[in-house]
Amino acid sequence: MDARDRLISATQELLWVRGYAATSPKEIQTSAGAGQGSMYHHFHGKEDLAVAALQRSARLLRDDSEALLQAPGTAVERLTSYLRQQRDSLRGCRMGRMTYDADVLATPALLEPVTATLDWLVTAIAEVIRQGVEDRELQADTDPEALACTVAAVVQGGYVLARAHHDTSRFDAAVEGAVALLNQAHRG
Amino acid sequence: MDARDRLISATQELLWVRGYAATSPKEIQTSAGAGQGSMYHHFHGKEDLAVAALQRSARLLRDDSEALLQAPGTAVERLTSYLRQQRDSLRGCRMGRMTYDADVLATPALLEPVTATLDWLVTAIAEVIRQGVEDRELQADTDPEALACTVAAVVQGGYVLARAHHDTSRFDAAVEGAVALLNQAHRG
DNA sequence: GTCTATAAAACGATAGAC
DNA sequence: GTCTATCGTTTTATAGAC
């Protein structure tokens, strides 16, 4: 793993834990075991490096979710396995958290991977729901886009609740409440 | 409105829009129309002022939610009116957003009002659900705490989705999906 | 490709006059 | 109670040696 790679990895980690504005180039360098000169040789600056890190994190998030959402099984089963996915819920969502970082919102290059990832996620969930409606597994009057937003929001909001109480069980509870509702909709 | 009051109001606004770490004392002073000397006369510093602002914001959020959750009506009606509450959804939640501010998480005095407010919210929602179960409006096997976390998470997560796309309709969709599920649970 | 030295600006706070 | 001047630190980036 060369210096460039270590810099990106360290930035991914720090962006997740501290956010963009609160992460200094110095922290990144220390964490990556790279000097200042190395960082400014490989990247134009903090923003450029953060874009590379966010793109890599976006890819990871997308791959993880895709595997669960497109696995075999009924729609409710796939939604359930997505919701119950093993998560380090106190850390929150590495993409979703960026929406509360003022610098990210103000910098199109930083915001773009966040927007694209959450957009992709909602679309992928909606596709599962659409299939469930088609298979008469979910009620015909279900709005796939709306329910997809609800499912994605439960995860994003579950992180907020867990972080507020420093307690992962808040996240788990939010997910289980959603799973129960989906199963009632299934039976209903 | 005296200087002390204007400083608190300005801080409430800036904490909501920019967060704690990204808000400088200078911005607060400019926004409040107060000088540096005035700010440090009334408050020990940025943290002290932010605590006062968060406590005032917490009170507002609690009063707004309490009015809707404890209004007359069935449980599902009250949950629906809470979910559909008129919101400036692109701004996000003034309490929830603080959970992604590293400085807030690391400062007990700042975190406390956030924790307390979201804790109160989940408890208040759970009480409505418990009443709905008792009245046989919701299924007997409903877990009030879990479903309360789900409802609160839909709102918190709806904000994240709306901010990611800079589009309030994502929030509205998340809420409407949840309302639809609750009504299915109601009929079911 | 990596190092150290340096710089310009912003940050949060303090001092002391009025 | 509010003002201006100042301080020490941190932030982000650049310069130039090696």
CATH of residue A113: 1.10.357.10
The 10 Å CB-count burial string (b at 16+, else e) for B122-148 is bebbbebbbebbeeebbeeebbbbbbb
Closest by Cβ to B176, choosing from A143, A165, A180: A143
φ/ψ bin of B107: left (φ > 0), alpha (ψ from -120 to 50), beta (otherwise): beta
Query: In whole angstroms, what is the distance from residue A48 CA to residue A4 CA?
Result: 12
Tokens of B33: 């129309």
Residue pair A156/B93 in contact (Cβ under 8 Å)? The answer is no
Closest by Cβ to B157, choosing from A105, A157, A163: A157
Give B48-101 pLDDT, tens digit per residue. 999 999 999 999 999 999 999 999 999 999 999 999 999 999 999 999 999 999
The Cα of B80 is separated from the nearest Cα of chain A by a number of Å equal to 14
The Cα of A155 is separated from the nearest Cα of chain B by a number of Å equal to 7
Residue B100: name the closest of A92, A79, A185, A166 by CA: A92
What is the number of other CB atoms lying within 10 angstroms of the CB of residue A74?
15
What pLDDT does residue A37 have?
97
B153 belongs to a structural domain: yes
| Angle B89-A121-A17 from CA coordinates, rounded to 5° | 75
Label each residue of A148-187 as H, E or C: HHHHHHHHHHHHHHHHHHCCHHHHHHHHHHHHHHHHHHHH
Residue pair B182/B80 in contact (Cβ under 8 Å)? The answer is yes
Task: pLDDT band for B125, please (50, 70, 90 cuts).
Answer: very high
pLDDT for residue A12 is more than 70: yes
Q: Is the CB of B109 under 7 A from strand C?
A: no
Looking from the CA of A84 toward its CB, the CA atoms found within 13 Å total 11
B31 belongs to a structural domain: no
What pLDDT does residue A2 have?
96
Q: Tell me the chain A residues in contact with residue B151 when contact means C-beta distances shorter than 8 Å.
A: 177
- What is the amino acid identity at position B158? G
Q: What is the mean pLDDT of residues B157-176?
A: 98
Residue A13: give the domain boundaries. 3-187
Residue pair A132/A76 in contact (Cβ under 8 Å)? The answer is yes
Q: Is the CB of B45 under 7 A from strand C?
A: yes
- Write the DSSP assignment of A38-80 as a string of letters: HHHHHSSSHHHHHHHHHHHHHHHHHHHHHHHHTSSS-HHHHHH
Residues with Cβ within 8 Å of A95's Cβ and at least 6 positions away in sequence, in order, are A54, A57, A58, A61, A113, A114, A117, A118, B164
What pLDDT does residue A152 have?
99
Q: What is the mean pLDDT of residues B119-146?
A: 97
Residue pair B37/A118 in contact (Cβ under 8 Å)? The answer is no
- Would you call B107 helix, strand, or coil by DSSP? coil
Q: What is the mean pLDDT of residues B139-150?
A: 97
pLDDT for residue A36 is more than 70: yes
Query: In whole angstroms, what is the distance from residue A168 CA to residue A41 CA?
Result: 40
- Average per-residue pLDDT in chain B? 97
Chain B residue at shortest CA distance from A162: B99
B6 belongs to a structural domain: no
Q: Which position has the higher pLDDT, A185 or B22?
A: B22
B5 belongs to a structural domain: no
**pTM higher than 0.85, yes or no?**
yes
Q: Is the CB of B2 under 7 A from strand D?
A: yes
Residue pair B69/B121 in contact (Cβ under 8 Å)? The answer is no
pLDDT for residue A188 is more than 90: no
Task: pLDDT band for B185, please (50, 70, 90 cuts).
Answer: confident
Task: pLDDT band for A96, please (50, 70, 90 cuts).
Answer: very high
What pLDDT does residue B186 have?
80
φ, ψ at A34 (rounded to 5°)? -125, 150
B109 belongs to a structural domain: yes
The Cα of A182 is separated from the nearest Cα of chain B by a number of Å equal to 7
Number of independent structural domains in chain B: 1
B107 belongs to a structural domain: yes
Query: In whole angstroms, what is the distance from residue A44 CA to residue A50 CA?
Result: 10
B141 belongs to a structural domain: yes
Task: pLDDT band for B188, please (50, 70, 90 cuts).
Answer: low
